[in-house]
Amino acid sequence: MSTTPNVPYRLEFSVEVPGTPEQVWQAIATAKGMSAWFLPTEMEEREGGSLHFSMGPEMGSDGQVTGWDSPRRIAYEEDWAALMGRDPDALSPLTSEFLVEATSGGTCVVRVTSSGFGTGAQWEQEWWADMGTQWRPFFDNLRLYLAHFPGQEATQLEVTASHPGDPEALWSTLRDALGLGEEGAPVEVRGATGTVERVGEQQALVRLTAPVPGMLNAFTYGYGDGTATAGVRAYLFSTGAADYVRREEPAWRAWLRGLSVPA
């Protein structure tokens, strides 16, 4: 027997970013823009257009653009049930909306709302709590992208490695190995130099300056099964970025696998 999805979930927040509404729109409503601070994105840039977010090998989320009012509002739906491998009758689509509002200081406020309906299951509540933790840091990426790389196309590097143990202990190890100090402090890791922009709970953001300019996220997460995953995701902006990724991705993977986590 299927259950009608009638339990509401909602996540709402806003972020102030530099730039004109048109610059912000290019970052949040185009495949090139979304790929430069979020996940690799394919998008038909119009109302009714298809949408796909890549989440790694053989993984992704499919959706459709449901609202398009340039440069003020974009909304889209993702197939939440398909993403989670659940009964499609038990979950509504996952709806996200971005509203762009210009301010007087040459910045814009982006208001973000994600919502959906489920059955009230425990895993749904945990998923929404986790989504807030994982979703918001991307908007620090957006702010940094618009401040330093507006309109530029990113080459992404992403590697992860799993270790036994819990994600908090792994995060402590990863943070120490990266040499992440306070926000604003310089950092150098594996030949890359930059500045710490933000350190949060099991995630951090670094603005890279050399050898390739860009942004680097470091993070850990766990699935409650006694293992934890450490990862780095970089968005790189230069003609040499693709060569850098080809050369450095295997080395980053080996570096992450070599982390020594206390038992």
Q: Which residues pair with 129 in a beta bridge?
A: none
- Tokens representing 189 are 């890791």
Q: In what order do the strands lie in the sheet with 203-210?
A: 155-164, 227-236, 214-222, 203-210, 192-200, 186-189
All structural domains of the chain, each given as residue ranges with its CATH number in brackets, are 11-149 (3.30.530.20), 155-258 (3.30.530.20)
Which amino acid is located at 45 in the chain?
Answer: E
Q: Tell me the percentage of the chain whose pLDDT exceeds 90.
A: 85
pLDDT band at 1 (very low <50, low <70, confident <90, very high): very low
- Give 38's DSSP letter: S
Exposure string for 226-245, b = 16+ CB within 10 A, e = fewer: eebbbbbbbbbbeeebeebb
- Are the beta carbons of 79 and 100 closer than 8 angstroms? no
Report the C-alpha gap between 171 and 202 in whole angstroms. Answer: 5
Token duo for residue 89 = 């009758």
pTM of structure: 0.94
Per DSSP, the chain holds a count of helices (H) and strands (E) of: 7, 13
> Is 258 in a helix, a strand, or coil?
coil
Task: Give the E-state strand segments of 130-211 in sequence order.
Answer: 155-164, 186-189, 192-200, 203-210
Give the confidence band of 262 by pLDDT, cuts at 50, 70, 90: confident
Task: Give the pLDDT mean for 180-205.
Answer: 93
What SS3 state is found at 136? coil
User: What are the residues whose beta carbons fall under 8 Å from the beta carbon of 171, sequence distance 6 or more?
Assistant: 202, 219, 220, 230
pLDDT tens, residue by residue, 94-131: 999 999 999 988 999 999 999 999 999 999 999 999 89
**What is the structure's pLDDT at 2?**
54
Q: Which residue has the higher pLDDT, 58 or 246?
A: 246
